[in-house]
Amino acid sequence: MEIAVLLIGMVIAAVAVFLYGFYTVGPTERGVLTSFGRAQRLGNKSTIDDPELGALLSDEEKLRYNYPVIQVIKPGGPYFKWPWQKLIKVDMTIQTTNITWDPDIAQSSIDSVTKDNLTVEISGQIRWRPSERNLYAYVFAVENPTAHIMGYFISVLRDRIATFSNEHEDGEMELTEGISINDLRKNVSTINQYMEDSSRKTAARYGIELDAALITTIDPPPEVDEALASINTTSNNVAAEISQAKAEADQTLKMAEQAVQIAENQANAEAAPLLELSETLSRMHATGGREALDSYIRNASLPLREKAAQTIITLNAKNS
């Protein structure tokens, strides 16, 4: 009897293993298999040994974000697992999250303070996905990865808004310096690029890769919008007048340069015959000596002497 019960139990266990021991992983998924809660590790490798992830972290961060490298199950199957093993599937598709999303509060925008102490309201989205190279951090190290990455992103964004200056490559500042929201609105693409560059290390810190930052609007509070519009109008008028003055100054400078060029050309034109005559006399003196030079001067002066002989000089009546 006992043997029969044992055999029945073994058959039931075998059937259960057969029914629940095989699994597959979808094309957009990755699997992590745990045995009694412990993920399968790839030896003693850690994320800081990864040349791509390790390069994203500073020396201080490497001490804090040193995660083991675990076995990642690729798409496909069927695979087999024992009853004491647990499969964790991770969706690897790019996900879009509104930056106003917060698991604890409901909000329509993110508040941030500019360098001139103006509170602005920001809205937009971020696109992200789990990092396959650091799934341990995404699955085990961070309790709520989405909330964590949003908190990190918002903190970096607020720091950028508070320190942003529209400085050109040549070091010059915009005429509207001091009105930070104008600079921010004109440079949304620059801010998005900065956020993407600054958030690359989240793959090493939290196992999340930021695909894109999509900040769309940066608005002042409604109560200061009218005053800001007046300031913008005044600033634009000043900028227009300065631009016109610069254009007039450039035109005057261009005309002066052209006048100098004309005078230089005239001087060169007057000097050219004299230089040519000098070279001719020098060659004549070199080949024929003083006599040839005197003969040339005598012949050259004949037309002038003829003109002088025909010159009529009108004497003043008083002197006559």
Q: What pLDDT sits at residue 171?
A: 47
Residue 269 above 90 pLDDT? yes
Tokens 């697992």 — which residue?
81
Q: Report the C-alpha gap between 11 and 66 in whole angstroms.
A: 45
Q: Give me the pLDDT at residue 320, please.
A: 45
* pLDDT for 166: 67
Mean pLDDT for the stretch of residues 81-108: 90
pLDDT tens, residue by residue, 35-80: 998 999 988 889 888 888 989 999 999 998 999 999 999 999 899 9
121-161: pLDDT as tens digits:
999 999 999 999 999 999 998 888 888 888 899 999 999 99
Instruction: HSE, CB side, 13 Å, CA atoms: give it for residue 115.
Output: 14
Q: State pTM to two decimals.
A: 0.63
Handedness of CA 205, 208, 214, 218 (dihedral sign): negative
Band of residue 16 on the pLDDT scale cut at 50, 70, 90: low
Please tell me the predicted confidence (pLDDT) of residue 309: 66
Residue 151 phi, psi (nearest 5): -60, -40
In this structure, the number of other CB atoms found within 10 A of the CB of residue 211 comes to: 15
Residue 85 tokens, joined: 């093993």
Q: Which residues contact 94 (CB under 8 A, 6 or more apart)?
A: 127, 128, 129, 211
What local confidence, expressed as pLDDT, does residue 148 receive?
Answer: 85
Check residue 114 and give its pLDDT.
87
Residue 305 pLDDT grade (very low, low, confident, very high; cuts 50, 70, 90): confident
| Burial class of 99 by CB neighbour count within 10 A (0 to 12, 13 to 18, 19+) | buried
pLDDT at 134: 92
Two tokens, residue 264:
């230089």
> Residue 284's pLDDT band (boundaries 50, 70, 90)?
confident
- C-alpha torsion angle, residues 112, 115, 119, 124 (rounded to 10): -40
